[in-house]
Amino acid sequence: MTDAPAIDIAHLPHPAPVPGATREQAIADPGFGTVFTDHMISIDWDEGEGWHGATLGPREPITLDPAASVLHYAQEIFEGLKAYRLTDGTMALFRPDQNAARLNRSARRLAMPELPEDVFVEAVRQVVLKDSDWFPKVEGGSLYIRPFMFANEHFLGVRPAKKYKFLVILSPAGNYFKSGAPAVSVWVSEYTRAAPGGTGEAKCGGNYAASLVPTGEAFAQGHDQVVFLDAVERKWIEELGGMNLFFVFDDGTLVTPPLTGTILPGITRDSIITLAREEGLGVREERYSLDSWKEDAASGRLTETFACGTAAVVTAVGKVAGRDGNFTIGSGGPGQLTTKLRDRLVGIQRGTVEDTHGWVMRL
Ligand code: PMP
């Protein structure tokens, strides 16, 4: 980044960082989202001053007034991205400008203030560099980055709050799926996630609160993820609880559900569309029904299905189950195209495949 950031981030000393031995243990076996690094970025917003008071300081509890509006009307949005280590040892971010832009689209939908994109990226960059010694020591490890913003005005009227806080915290991450499965099994839920005109395309906490029961149902029945159908006809496939879906056909074309407002516009989804087209594959953003999924898997017209997102990158879907029965896709394991696209994307993220799009930001 050549331009100076629009805000100065003050660095506060940490009085008691996590002891080295504890940190070493955590990064040798990180899991997902349970261990956090020493520091965080914090930036405040209010009507008078706009964004101000940016600090990089100790990760610590935050004090909230019981009337803080986030606790009542859920004005909360977040992002999720990762810092990767390139093969030459440098840490890098993957398309962080896209996360910044998506946070601001979410902010607009939730009547929250937008954060300048360069401030978002600079905040992420600084905290990752500060806690780089928390980078996991496991194969495929990364530092998971969680930027988020919430309303902290204490006021109980139902209207957009006049005070917000933006924070960035980090968590060393290993494999997202507990099983580390080469292909996952998914459960088609009777619950829906998002209705037309709702908040489905925003990354707001409320969407995830509503997905917990359906996801719990999927887990209870031994599946790895939940599949949501559309809320109107209950027949069109939308996405998984935390990933977008792609369907691969025997003529080498791909289909992915269109961005009509009810699904999250995944940055991995967008990257896969670009990479697949570069491979000469046809990609159609169009609706695809659960009935077709089942029929096409049976006939062999559908050869692969994969899910994609920051957490699990690209993961094959091997088995699908729902109230109407089960079916298997292809051999039930990762297909050729899934593996090819995954390898290409992971290669770009790790610096072994040339980054012709300028997607990788070295730190
Ligand atoms: N859908 C949902 C509901 C998600 O939570 C995520 C994860 N952010 C995705 C899709 C994938 O998005 P991305 O590729 O940007 O991680």
Complex ipTM: 0.99
In sequence order, which ranges of 89-241 are alpha helices (DSSP H)?
A: 96-109, 117-130, 205-220
pLDDT of residue 22: 93
Q: What is the pLDDT of residue 139?
A: 85
The mean pLDDT values, 10 residues at a time, for the chain of 363 residues are: 72 94 93 93 97 98 97 98 94 98 98 98 98 93 97 96 98 71 92 98 98 97 97 98 97 97 98 97 98 97 98 94 93 94 95 97 97
pLDDT reported for residue 1: 45
For position 6, what pLDDT does the model report? 75
Structure token digits, residue 186:
């998914």
Res 173: pLDDT: 94
**Would you state the pLDDT for residue 176?**
61
Q: What is the pLDDT of residue 182?
A: 85
Residue 349 C-alpha to ligand 1 middle, in angstroms?
A: 17
Q: To which residue do tokens 């917003």 refer?
A: 45
From 227, 244, 308, give the residue whose CB has the most ligand 1 atoms within 8 Å, as the site to mutate: 244
| CA gap 354, 343 in Å, rounded | 12
Sequence-ordered list of residues with C-beta below 8 angstroms from that of 139, at least 6 positions apart, any chain: none
Joined together, the tokens standing for residue 43 give: 């930036």
pLDDT of residue 312: 84
pLDDT value at residue 209: 97
Residue 140: per-residue pLDDT = 85
Closest CA to 264 of 116, 105, 83: 105
**pLDDT score recorded for residue 177:** 53
E strand segments, the chain? 10-11, 39-46, 50-58, 76-78, 81-85, 91-94, 142-151, 163-173, 183-192, 225-229, 237-240, 244-249, 254-256, 283-285, 302-309, 313-322, 325-328, 360-362
User: What secondary structure letter does DSSP report for 191?
Assistant: E
Classify residue 289 by its DSSP letter. Answer: B
Measured from CB, residues less than 6 Å from any atom of ligand 1 are 80, 239, 242-244, 264, 266-269, 309-310
For residue 271, which atom of ligand 1 is closest to its CA?
Answer: 14
Residue 239's contacts (CB-CB under 8 Å, 6 or more residues apart) are 193, 227, 228, 245, 257, 263, 264, 266
User: What sign has the CA pseudo-torsion 309, 208, 302, 334?
Assistant: positive
pLDDT at 180: 52
pLDDT at 54: 98
What's this model's pTM, rounded to 2 decimal places? 0.96
Establish whether 340 is a catalytic residue. no
Q: Of 82, 130, 165, 203, which one is the catalytic site residue?
A: 203
In sequence order, the β-bridge partners of residue 342 are none
| Among protein residues, the one whose CA lies closest to atom 7 of ligand 1 | 242
Q: Which residue's C-alpha comes closest to atom 12 of ligand 1? A: 266
